[in-house]
Amino acid sequence: MSDETEIPSVTRVAGSGVPIRGNDIDTDQIIPARFLKVITFDGLGEFAFFDQRFDDEDNPKDHPFNEERFQDANVLVVNANFGCGSSREHAPQALKRWGIDAIVGESFAEIFAGNCLALGIPTVTADTEAIETLQDWIDENPGSEIGIDVAAETVVYDDETIDAEVDEAQRKALVDGIWDTTALMKSNATAIEATAESLPYIDDPSLRAGEADD
Amino acid sequence: MSEGTLYDKVWDRHRVTTLPNGQDQLFIGLHLIHEVTSPQAFGMLRERGLELARPDLTHATVDHIVPTDDRDRPFENDAAEEMYAELERNLEGTNIDFDDPSSGNQGIVHVIGPEQGITQPGKTIVCGDSHTSTHGAFGALAFGIGTSQIRDVFATQTVAMEKKKVRKIEVTGELGEDVTAKDVILTIIRRLGTDGGVGYVYEYAGEAIESLGMEGRMSICNMSIEGGARAGYVNPDETTYAWLRETDEFADDPERFEELKPYWESVRSDPDAEYDDVVTIDGSAIEPVVTWGTTPGQGIGISEEIPEPESLPEDKRETARRAQKHMGVEPGETMAGYDIDVAFLGSCTNARLSDLRAGAEIVKSRQVDDSVRAMVVPGSQRVKTAAEREGLDEVFTEAGFEWRNPGCSMCLGMNDDQLVGDEACASSSNRNFVGRQGSKEGRTVLMSPRMVAAAAITGEVTDVRDLPKAEVKA
């Protein structure tokens, strides 16, 4: 058993930004379904936003992820309801493998934000105006430093400080390094069993074991 | 904070503990898995040397990538074959029930759970698929999870979650002729927005909901996620119990049914339950709904005009402009008469027996328009068999529909069932996102099965109420 995986805390993310504009950018745009036919997440990075980035002949189109000046970016800045749609973890996995370490936006779809957390990617929110101003600034100053302080809930760039928000449970999980929940939850085995036993619809697993080979 | 709702009660019964990060650890009563989102989780489990905690509470099928025509192994598509084989390898020696096509029980994961009776009131149900909300129709607390959470459930049979708020959506009155559950949920999403449900669980109530059968309730709960709510539910009642009595779980075990019923009754929302929000919608005012855009919130009644982007709230205008350009529609027009190339009757939203009956009623003794490629993809092998017993397959094939094998199919175009180029599709599925049905120029118009059938016949978006119906049921 090796469930004592060391989980790094994520208190700060620093780097440069890449703006992806538009509300309601769904998971089918982030990673089209045809790229889900894989059994590992390796290599998904090159397919992030694929249909926005390439035409039918695979020629590159205008998209921030194709622009030379954003190739080293690790902070994605988006608008409202980003990541809506399916539960595919392939979406944040593709972004992560492209190089994204944190996402700042107006709002996020819930499952998407949860999937990001499971990968240690903060999803930081701020108001419409602050986001749009930040996106414009990145456009004018590609490669310039943006600092996200998860604990203090701020996004710092230029000489601006955005008063941002990080969902409380997410913040605590990232800062305390407890965002990888498997080991944490497994340690509550006795309580899990007690909960299961209290539920009228759960059979005792030891009774089930006898009929497992039927 | 809500109190005394089904959500509160089921949550409390399944709460193992509160984790240091403030999230609750919830016990999971049923974990459904399929070939697309489970392989990476099995991989993570192996990497860490962890065992499956409760294979007896895990249930597998194949739906996303399976072909709906020739299903002989190996599949023609190598990637599909690899994913299927990987699931088989992962299940080997685990005692996890696997409904593969040879079992006669294979189907879309959200169709098979309810039809076998493993979806029950008061259960927590998860699956690596956002439409897991479907199972809420039975008064279960059911929601989609990501792959890392699948790993958590595999290893611990629990997930870490924050409790949400509860919004009661009361749909009053009686639904009009040809107005279905699909029209109700599209109306709800239009009214509350695609992100209106973020942070909420939806409780659907009111006369129009209670008078729906289980299949209609499933269509409603299914699309909770399109409204931003991760879960939605209907309180269990006699309709729910009548369905459950007929399922595998209870048909031969009425004692078990009686044993569990008090629990099911106990989780119903109390009459004086407190909600964080209550919304009332007049069900009698709803007409058949179709989408004009590229989010499920962009729906209108069939006789209504497509809105001017400028008339919408500011944050919806740009999305609306882009959507109208993609769809090639103009504000001020109605969607009636919009030419379609493909008709798709399928998906976890609308591919159950009553959906197929509804479609068949419209196409009986008619012919699919020459310009249209039409297909029916039943939700499961059992649905398919039951439909064939009623002769629905003949009704559809005689009209010119293809009659396929069960799977997710053209809802998300992961198998070969895809739109080509800028084809427009009248679809009974749940998402009209750009690229969703396999072609990035493809255009999807969401609607009910009846409306899909009507569009197939006329070759354009059509008010089904204008077509006379035939009697098909024996």
Contact at CB, A192 and B27, closer than 8 angstroms:
yes
Using a pLDDT cut of 90, give the percent of chain A over it.
Answer: 85
Q: Does the pLDDT value for residue A211 go beyond 80?
A: no
The Cα B432–Cα B411 span in angstroms is 9
Interface test with B, best of A9, A23, A24 (most B CBs within 10 A): A24
The Cα B211–Cα B205 span in angstroms is 10
Structure-block tokens of residue B180: 């279905």
Contact at CB, A33 and B48, closer than 8 angstroms:
no
Compute the nearest-CA separation of A185 from chain B (Å): 7
Q: Which DSSP string corresponds to B124-171?
A: EEEESSGGGGGGGGGT-EEEE--HHHHHHHHHHSEEEEPPPEEEEEEE
Contact at CB, B25 and A185, closer than 8 angstroms:
yes
pLDDT value, residue A205: 54
Q: Find the mean pLDDT for residues B235-264.
A: 98
The Cα A29–Cα A49 span in angstroms is 6
Nearest CA in chain A to B259: A200
Chain B hits for A90, Cβ within 8 Å = 147
Chain A hits for B64, Cβ within 8 Å = 36
Q: Find the mean pLDDT for residues B67-74.
A: 94
Using a pLDDT cut of 70, give the percent of chain B over it.
Answer: 99
pLDDT 10s digits, B49-64: 999 999 999 999 999 9
Q: Which residue has the tokens 């749940």?
A: B430
pLDDT value, residue B398: 98
Say whether residue B413 is in contact with chain A using an 8 A CB cutoff: yes
Compute the nearest-CA separation of A187 from chain B (Å): 9
Interface test with B, best of A86, A193, A197 (most B CBs within 10 A): A86
Q: Does the pLDDT value for residue A5 go beyond 60?
A: no
Report the mean per-residue pLDDT for chain B: 96
Contact at CB, A28 and B436, closer than 8 angstroms:
yes
Fold category of B300-466 in CATH: Aconitase; domain 3 (3.30.499)
pLDDT value, residue A213: 39
Residue B435 near residue A32 (C-beta atoms within 8 A): yes
Contact at CB, A1 and B155, closer than 8 angstroms:
no
Q: Find the mean pLDDT for residues A125-142.
A: 98
Contact at CB, B149 and A114, closer than 8 angstroms:
yes
Cα–Cα distance list, B317 to A91, A175, B188, B321, B324 (Å)? 26, 37, 19, 6, 10
Indicate if the alpha-carbon torsion angle B112, B118, B123, B128 is positive or negative: negative
Q: Where are the domains of chain B?
A: 6-266, 300-466
Compute the nearest-CA separation of A101 from chain B (Å): 17
Contact at CB, B146 and A118, closer than 8 angstroms:
yes
Nearest CA in chain B to A191: B16
H or E stretch at A173: helix A168-175
Chain B hits for A40, Cβ within 8 Å = 39-40, 43
Please give the backbone phi and psi of residue B203, each rounded to the nearest 5 degrees, phi first: -105, 120
Q: Which are the contacts of B169, defined by CB distance < 8 A and separation ≥ 6?
A: B188, B192, B202, B203, B204, B205, B206, B278, B279, B280, B281
Using a pLDDT cut of 90, give the percent of chain B over it.
Answer: 97
Using a pLDDT cut of 70, give the percent of chain A over it.
Answer: 92
Chain A hits for B95, Cβ within 8 Å = 212-213
The Cα A189–Cα B52 span in angstroms is 13
Contact at CB, B146 and A114, closer than 8 angstroms:
yes
Q: Name the residue among A16, A92, A24, A46 with its Cα closest to residue B296.
A: A24
- For B117, left (φ over 0), alpha (ψ -120 to 50), or beta? left
Residue count (chain B): 474
pLDDT value, residue B473: 47
Q: What letter does residue B27 receive in the DSSP assignment?
A: E
The Cα B54–Cα B52 span in angstroms is 6
Residue B122 near residue B233 (C-beta atoms within 8 A): no
Alpha helices in A13-166, H assignment, sequence order: 27-30, 50-53, 90-98, 110-118, 128-140
Chain A hits for B40, Cβ within 8 Å = 39-41, 89
The Cα A166–Cα B173 span in angstroms is 42
Contact at CB, B65 and A37, closer than 8 angstroms:
yes
- Domains of chain A, start order: 12-179 (3.20.19.10)
* Max CA distance (Å), chain B: 63
Chain B hits for A191, Cβ within 8 Å = 16-17, 25
Question: Residues of B at the annotated binding site for [4Fe-4S] cluster?
Answer: 348, 408, 411
pLDDT band at A2 (very low <50, low <70, confident <90, very high): very low
pLDDT band at A8 (very low <50, low <70, confident <90, very high): confident
Q: Does the pLDDT value for residue A212 go beyond 50?
A: no
ipTM score here?
0.94
The Cα B109–Cα B425 span in angstroms is 24
pLDDT band at A7 (very low <50, low <70, confident <90, very high): confident
Interface test with B, best of A53, A89, A131, A135 (most B CBs within 10 A): A89
pLDDT 10s digits, A32-46: 998 999 999 999 999
The Cα B281–Cα B111 span in angstroms is 28
> Is the fold of B6-266 the same as that of B300-466?
yes
Least confident of B21-25, B215-219, B291-295, B345-349: B21-25
Please give the backbone phi and psi of residue B279, each rounded to the nearest 5 degrees, phi first: -125, 135
pLDDT 10s digits, A51-73: 999 998 999 999 999 999 999 99
Of A23, A87, A196, the CB nearest to B319: A23
H or E stretch at B290: strand B289-291
Q: Find the mean pLDDT for residues B359-378.
A: 97
Q: Does the pLDDT value for residue A210 go beyond 60?
A: no
pLDDT band at B470 (very low <50, low <70, confident <90, very high): low
Q: Name the residue among B171, B152, B176, B218 with its Cα closest to residue B351.
A: B218
The Cα A159–Cα B50 span in angstroms is 48
Structure-block tokens of residue A128: 């419409």
| Chain B from 379 to 398: CB within 8 A of any A CB | none
| Chain A from 133 to 162: CB within 8 A of any B CB | none
Q: Find the mean pLDDT for residues A121-125.
A: 98
Q: Residue B432: what residue type?
A: N
The architecture CATH gives domain B6-266: 2-Layer Sandwich (3.30)
